[in-house]
Amino acid sequence: TPRVFSGMQPSGGLTLGNYLGALKRYVEMQDTGTYETIYCMVDLHAITVWQDPTELAAKTRELAAAYIAAGVDPAKSILINQSQVPEHAQLAWIFNTVARMGWMQRMTQFKDKAGKNAQNASLGLFAYPALMAADILIYHATHVPVGDDQKQHLELTRDIATKFNHDYGVDFFPITEPVIEGAATRVMSLRDGSKKMSKSDASDASRINMTDDADTIAQKIRKAKTDPDALPSEYKGLDDRPEARNLVNIYAALADISVDQVLADHGGAQFGTFKPALAELAVAKLSPIASEMTRLMADVAEIDKLLAQGAEQAREITQPILKRTYEIVGMVGA
Ligand code: AQP
């Protein structure tokens, strides 16, 4: 069976972008029944920028609760915390020796996150994509659902697999397919249609958090930047209207309908009527998830138990793959 792997960092509250671009897709892929699905909280990735230890643990459990509340079912998917499956980090070291400095230097996420003072960024932030490649390839995963911003890292994952196979003369690691589909592969900021909606944006008004209450969601959508025109009835009418396009895309993704359908239903409407409809839809989809998260987080012991079970299941896959990798590389005792 084809195998799906994906993960998110427990580095803060999830945004609507994380939900529509990634988490919702995780659940859909799980529920097709076509794939074996493995979903991860990538705590080792999160610490590539400073994380308060107490908060890191809390956010990891909160992310596990978000996964489950959104529909990731530990009976159908393997749910893990990255550091509890040590083979991720072990394979990442091998990949650090396969990947080239120049490849890493081209990564736009590194450039964005390191900012002007790249000399002061952690070595882990620079090596981030090699660990991500290891996350995926330690399962021989074939499909990776992600948002559009992760495309470049997935290309690097393919490059690492190809170079490893070539250097060692094997056909061992698969060439992974990114799955970047749907109306919301890149949800944009509510304040600036040229910027990705991001949990680290200084302005909370730029994003919808999955735990925002109904009033907050309605207010943020009401204040979202738009232009003065009515909605067009065809998609091409959204050219050069990034903010309008973003709200239409969000509507389509939340309602599970096509963008064309949204415009067929709302074409000609002013934002004064479309925005309240969008807010109502967002609240209807997000608030049950938020209340389920609250319920799940009341029982930390249960979350920790699920993660321990997930790690055990995962290691049945990762241990043989790491062993075989070590043999290929020539490590004594593998
Ligand atoms: N705006 C977005 N639209 C669609 N998908 C998105 N993703 C993130 N933002 C959007 C997807 O969410 C998954 C989780 O990625 P991550 O935990 O590595 O976080 P990130 O990509 O660093 O996301 P953020 O929210 O933007 O965090 P910061 O602000 O810390 O950089 C990935 O699949 C990603 O594509």
Flag whether 17 is marked binding. Answer: yes
Same domain? For 228 and 103 the reply is no
> Ligand 1 test: best mutation among 135, 152, 198, 206, most atoms within 8 Å of CB?
198
Asked if residue 277 and residue 161 are part of one domain, the reply reads no
Q: Is 187 in the pocket of ligand 1 (CB under 6 A)?
A: yes
Q: Are residues 8 and 109 in the same domain?
A: yes
Residues with Cβ within 8 Å of 172's Cβ and at least 6 positions away in sequence, in order, are: 164, 165, 324, 325, 328
Atom of ligand 1 nearest to the CA of 147: 35
Of the residues 76, 163, 199, 225, only one is catalytic, namely: 199
Token pair of 221, please? 């959508």
Write the DSSP string, 23-60.
IHHHHHHHHHSSSEEEEEE-HHHHTTS---HHHHHHHH
Residues 271 and 160 in one domain: no
Question: pLDDT at position 79, please?
Answer: 98
The packing angle between helices 300-329 and 53-70, to 10°, is: 100
Q: Are residues 224 and 150 in the same domain?
A: no
Q: What is the CATH number of the domain that holds 64?
A: 3.40.50.620
Ligand 1, atom nearest to 207 Cα:
1
Together in a domain, 10 and 148:
yes
Residue 171 belongs to some domain of the structure: yes
Residue 273 has a pLDDT of 96
Q: Are residues 88 and 230 part of one domain?
A: no
Question: pTM for the complete prediction?
Answer: 0.96
Q: Is residue 267 part of a domain?
A: yes
CA of 146 to the centre of ligand 1 (A): 8
Q: Is position 9 annotated in a ligand binding site?
A: yes
ipTM of the complex, rounded to two decimals: 0.96
**Integer Cα distance of 73 and 94 in angstroms:** 32
The count of structural domains within the chain is: 2
Report the separation in Å between the CA atom of 180 and the middle of ligand 1, taken as the mean of its atom positions.
13
Q: What is the whole-number distance in angstroms between the Cα of residue 69 and the centre of ligand 1?
A: 19
Distance 147 CA to ligand 1 centre (A): 7
- Look up the CATH number of the domain holding residue 217: 1.10.240.10
Task: Based on the fold, state whether residues 269 and 325 are members of the same structural domain.
Answer: no
Atom of ligand 1 nearest to the CA of 14: 25
Ligand-binding site membership of 182 (annotated): no
Atom of ligand 1 nearest to the CA of 113: 31
The one catalytic residue among 196, 220, 275, 285: 196
C-alpha angle 186-3-103 in degrees, rounded to nearest 5: 55
Q: What is the pLDDT of residue 231?
A: 97
User: For position 12, what pLDDT does the model report?
Assistant: 86
What is the whole-number distance in angstroms between the Cα of residue 15 and the centre of ligand 1?
A: 8
Q: Which residues of the chain have pLDDT under 50?
A: none
Ligand 1 pocket mutation, candidates 149, 157, 210, criterion most atoms within 8 A of CB: 149
Is 37 a domain residue? yes
| Among candidate residues 129, 128, 105, 99, the one with its CA nearest the CA of residue 118 | 105
Those residues whose C-beta lies under 8 Å from the C-beta of residue 43, and which sit 6 or more positions away, are 9, 10, 56, 60, 81, 82, 83
- Amino acid in position 237: G
In single-letter form, the type of residue at position 52 comes to D
- Structural domain contains residue 192: no
Q: What is the predicted pLDDT for the residue at 200?
A: 87
Residues 26 and 75 in one domain: yes
186 Cβ inside 6 Å of ligand 1:
yes
256 and 130: one domain? Answer: no
Are residue 155 and residue 214 in the same domain, yes or no? no
- 217 in a domain, yes or no? yes
Which domain, by its residues, includes 162? 3-179+299-329
* Annotated catalytic residue 199: yes
187 lies in a domain? no
The reply, when asked if residue 198 is annotated as ligand binding, is: yes
**196 is known as an active-site residue:** yes
What pLDDT score does 1 carry? 86
Does residue 9's CB lie within 6 angstroms of at least one atom of ligand 1? yes
- Residue 197 domain-assigned (yes or no): no
Looking at ligand 1, which atom is closest to the CA of residue 197?
Answer: 1
